[in-house]
């Protein structure tokens, strides 16, 4: 009896049967392997064999999405840029610069040894949260579309929450991989990660950046689920966060009106539902093949922020249903092969990184498109790789670089 009690204490308490079965299913899907040596857990060796298919698919899809995004940013922003007295190439030029920086971030993430990444992973939340908190300082932080979620540096506005999404994936992967044996111990594994997630999501909600708050929270829940954590703490944390978020929104009638406007788009088409209503008109104008790139009318002031949050409506108008299906196929390939890379990775850290990025893309793409077509609230999220925005593009390309990094590792 004493031995049993001591054993239970060492393993972090009684394990949930559901969580244990989920963990075993994930291990079986990855292909059960012998436990690697201590050295092999921390020192990754790049295979000299030909890289797997997933590596090339991720690389090609990422490049295609970035180039397509540049074309759509030029098409959707030239009119509004000219109307503001700037060059029609203004937003395109800035996005091209962001793409170049993102390419450098992708290369660094691709080339960085995973053991070195793990060494800095533990300190990343400090920098990420500190960067987010800079937005509250006068003269540094700035408000865009009602959200004080940007940091002004020189001629550029940076949104730290975009980088915090990637930080949550990397930090969570390292922490949960190191504490795999104590994943059922709330104090050892769950509390440290949930604390970081709560701080990040709480900061976003105080900034009035509801979209980032939702994505950060769902990334945290996804990482815990993938790591095989007990469901009960996750559900309790999700319910608590949801209640606090709902309370915050209910106290502000303007926020509540914007969040609930999608329930009656036609009735709110002259107020909070205006953006979505105009976006739906643009989508309907596209038909099967679209009006042609550059020939859409929604960007002529009808669809606000057409080059950013609502760029999907311009894609649908100018490229039609076929263009939309093509774009969705590219995202589907990226997400599918992210999970394939995760399942083929022999190390738990790489598995959690790849699967976490896949979950992040699923969440953000779904919420953005869902808001544009009126089945979800509009939360101000960008469409990864496509929307105008340097922070989003650089963070997404760095995430793609990490996927390629994990993909090139041997089984």
Domain positions in the chain are 50-407
Q: Please report the pLDDT score of residue 337 as a whole number.
A: 96
Closest-CA residue to 292 (of 314, 310, 312): 314
pLDDT (tens, 9 = 90+) of the chain, 411 residues, equals: 444 444 444 444 455 566 666 666 666 655 544 344 444 444 445 555 557 888 999 999 999 999 999 999 999 999 988 888 889 999 999 999 999 999 999 999 999 999 999 999 999 999 999 999 999 998 898 888 778 889 988 888 899 999 999 999 999 999 999 988 878 777 777 889 999 999 999 999 999 898 999 999 999 999 999 998 888 877 887 887 788 778 877 887 877 888 888 888 888 888 888 999 999 999 999 999 999 999 999 999 899 889 999 999 999 999 999 999 999 999 999 999 999 999 998 889 999 999 999 999 999 999 999 999 999 999 889 999 999 999 999 999 999 999 999 998 645
- With contact defined as beta carbons under 8 Å apart, do 373 and 283 qualify? yes
CA distances for 39 relative to 16, 176, 182, 246, 406, angstroms? 31, 19, 21, 47, 18
Decide: residue 130, CB within 10 A, 0-12 exposed, 13-18 middle, 19+ buried: exposed
Contact 346, 36 (CB under 8 A): yes
Given 3-state DSSP classes, what are the helix, strand and coil percentages for the chain, each rounded to the nearest 5? 70, 5, 25
Q: How far apart are CA 102 and CA 391, in angstroms?
A: 9
Q: Do residues 191 and 233 lie in contact, with contact meaning Cβ atoms separated by under 8 Å? A: no
Residue 98: how many CA atoms within 13 Å on its side-chain side? 28
């Amino acid at each position: 009896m004493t031995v049993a009690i001591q054993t239970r204490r060492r393993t972090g308490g009684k394990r949930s049967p559901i969580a244990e079965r989920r963990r075993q299913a994930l291990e079986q899907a990855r292909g059960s392997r012998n436990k690697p040596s201590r050295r092999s857990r921390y020192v990754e060796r790049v295979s000299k064999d030909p890289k797997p298919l997933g590596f090339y698919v991720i690389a090609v899809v990422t490049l295609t999405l970035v180039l397509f995004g540049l074309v759509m940013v030029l098409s959707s922003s030239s009119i509004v840029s000219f109307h503001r007295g700037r060059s029609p190439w203004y937003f395109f030029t800035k996005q091209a610069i962001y793409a170049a920086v993102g390419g450098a971030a992708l290369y660094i993430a691709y080339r960085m040894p995973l053991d070195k990444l793990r060494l800095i992973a533990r300190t990343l939340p400090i920098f990420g949260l500190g960067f987010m908190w800079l937005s509250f300082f006068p003269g540094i932080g700035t408000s865009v579309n009602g959200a004080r979620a940007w940091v002004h540096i020189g001629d550029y506005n940076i949104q730290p929450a975009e980088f915090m999404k990637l930080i949550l994936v990397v930090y969570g992967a390292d922490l949960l991989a190191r504490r795999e044996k104590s994943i059922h111990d709330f104090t050892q594994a769950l509390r440290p990660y949930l604390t970081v997630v709560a701080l990040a999501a709480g900061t976003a909600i105080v900034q009035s950046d509801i979209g980032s708050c939702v994505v950060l929270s769902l990334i945290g829940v996804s990482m815990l689920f993938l790591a095989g954590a007990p469901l009960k703490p996750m559900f309790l944390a999700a319910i608590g966060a949801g209640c606090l978020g709902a309370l915050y929104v209910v106290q502000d009638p303007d926020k509540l009106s914007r969040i609930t406007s999608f329930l009656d788009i036609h009735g709110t088409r002259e107020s909070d539902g205006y953006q979505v209503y105009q976006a739906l008109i643009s989508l309907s104008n596209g038909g099967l093949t679209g009006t042609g790139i550059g020939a859409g009318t929604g960007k002529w002031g009808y669809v606000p922020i057409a080059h950013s949050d609502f760029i999907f409506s311009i894609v649908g108008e100018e490229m039609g249903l076929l263009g939309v299906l093509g774009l969705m196929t590219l995202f589907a390939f990226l997400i599918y092969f992210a999970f394939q890379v995760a399942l083929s990775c022999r190390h738990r850290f790489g598995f959690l990184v790849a699967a976490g990025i896949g979950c992040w893309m699923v969440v953000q793409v779904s919420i953005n498109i869902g808001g544009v077509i009126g089945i979800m609230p509009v939360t101000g999220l960008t469409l990864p790789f496509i929307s105008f925005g340097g922070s989003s593009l650089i963070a997404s390309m760095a995430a793609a670089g990490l996927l390629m990094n994990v993909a090139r590792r041997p089984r």
